[in-house]
Amino acid sequence: MKYSILGYFIGEGFSNVFKNKKSTGASLMIMCATMIIFGIFLILGENINHFVNEVESEQGISVFVKNEATQEQIDELGEKIRAIDRSKYSRICFKR
């Protein structure tokens, strides 16, 4: 493609933009409205994902062990809790 043909098409495009101001303005407003709506939904989706991840990381397991439980039973219970994929830490508390 020659540069003169490319220049001609670009020139015609700009001249038609100024000849059809109403259509051009309407098209630009629709495109802006579409991008704003898309941005709002994108932000909402990201906020929901962040909130779900925060709630998921705060989940914990509370285990109450009877005082008469043996150390072997307590260790076994601790291993089962640590085997859970999403448990980050474990702590065993006894009722006093």
What is the dihedral sign for C-alpha 10, 16, 21, 24? Answer: negative
Tens-place pLDDT, residues 48-82: 999 998 887 777 777 777 778 888 888 888 888 77
Please tell me the predicted confidence (pLDDT) of residue 44. 98
Residues forming beta bridges with residue 65, ordered by sequence position: 94
Extents of the domains making up the chain: 1-59, 60-96
Give the confidence band of 90 by pLDDT, cuts at 50, 70, 90. Answer: low
Task: Identify the residue whose tokens are 């991008």.
Answer: 35
Mean pLDDT of 39-55: 95
What is the dihedral sign for C-alpha 41, 47, 49, 55? Answer: negative
Distance (Å, rounded) from C-alpha 33 to C-alpha 41? Answer: 12
pTM score, whole prediction = 0.55
